[in-house]
Structure 1
């Protein structure tokens, strides 16, 4: 009996691992199906509009909180979305 019969079994491990890796890579990356945003999407840029009106000035760190923040009033910040219940 020859030892060549078991050699294919040893080669099957790395070949199977390589095949599995490549299949998972192709499945999760889908590079052949991906959308090339930079080439296929047209974005019309428009000039920036706005104003630079100065509203207030805070110098240094004298104020540790932002005036009018609602950090502690959870119910006022987070509201339930009221949708159709049909």
Structure 2
């Protein structure tokens, strides 16, 4: 008498793992529900124009200053404020 009852139980492990992997792959990838942007979307390009209120204010060609005026890099106590809570 052969013990074939345990053979299907051994085959159930890899088959179940494969099924679970495929189910999770399909759930997270949504390959059947995603759309092809390149084929389904039509974008019409237009000429780039500036607004009438656009005007040049200043031009900087290179800089010699190593720091920005008014920075607060070294004044860390003025940058970090402690949050005060009302305790009853």
Structure 1 gap segments, 5+ residues each: 75-86
Q: Distance in 1 between matches of 2:38 and 2:31?
A: 15
Q: CA deviation at 1:16?
A: 0.5
Give the 3 Å change call, closer, same or farther, for CA 55–33 of structure 1 in structure 2. same
TM-score by length of 1: 0.61
| Structure 1 residue aligned with 2:46 | 46
TM-score by length of 2: 0.60
Q: CA deviation at 1:58?
A: 4.7
2:43 counterpart SS class: coil
- Aligned-pair Cα RMSD in Å: 3.2
Which residue of 59, 63, 67 maps to 2:62?
59
1:28 counterpart SS class: helix
Deviations for 1:29-56, whole angstroms, at most 9, x for unmatched residues?
11111121111111111123348x5832
Alignment of 1:5-84 (within 5 A): 5-50=5-50, 55-60=58-63, 62-65=65-68
| Structure 2 residue aligned with 1:80 | none
